């Protein structure tokens, strides 16, 4: 399978714990994006990487959120001190062309109890 992969697919955590998600983009894609989707809504942009550089961050990305993309390959999204409001689907996407479609992974569903 050469699509975008994300791990884990599901994560249940207690409030206050830290969680980390991983995204492996399509291998030839140099652009990587993180989105968050809550129930009944479309995805909302969180952050964007071109190669290893994090070039854009949404205001949604509070200081409890941090994303990295070492060596311009896979990316991780960490949420510290999780809150119940962080419960959502976290989607990763990648693209290789400036105006082409972004290809999404299956998402990581986070539930904070």
Partner 1 sequence: AQKITQTQPGMFVQEKEAVTLDCTYDTSDPSYGLFWYKQPSSGEMIFLIYQGSYDQQNATEGRYSLNFQKARKSANLVISASQLGDSAMYFCAMREVSSGANNLFFGTGTRLTVIP
| β-bridge pairing 108-112 and 10-13 | parallel
Least Å distance, CB 101 to partner 1, is: 4
Q: Are 12 and 38 in contact (CB under 8 A)?
A: no
Q: Which is nearer to partner 1, 15 or 42 (CB)?
A: 42
Least Å distance, CB 81 to partner 1, is: 25
* Alpha carbons 79 and 67: distance in angstroms, whole number: 9
Which strand ranges, in their side-by-side order, compose the sheet holding 75-79?
A: 5-7, 19-24, 75-79, 65-68
Q: Which is nearer to partner 1, 25 or 43 (CB)?
A: 43
Binding site for partner 1 (CB under 8 A): 31, 33, 35, 40-45, 48, 50, 55-56, 58, 89, 91, 93, 98-107, 109
Least Å distance, CB 82 to partner 1, is: 20
């Amino acid at each position: 399978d050469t699509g975008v992969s994300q791990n884990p697919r599901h994560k249940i955590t207690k409030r206050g714990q830290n969680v980390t998600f991983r995204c492996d983009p399509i291998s030839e894609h140099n652009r990587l994006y993180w989105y968050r989707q809550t129930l009944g809504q479309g995805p909302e942009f969180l952050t964007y990487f071109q190669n290893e550089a994090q070039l854009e961050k949404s205001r949604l990305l509070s200081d409890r959120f941090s994303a990295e993309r070492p060596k311009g390959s896979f990316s991780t999204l960490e949420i510290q001190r999780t809150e119940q409001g962080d419960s959502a689907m976290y989607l990763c996407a990648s693209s290789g062309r400036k105006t082409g479609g972004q290809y999404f992974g299956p998402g990581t569903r986070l539930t904070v109890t």
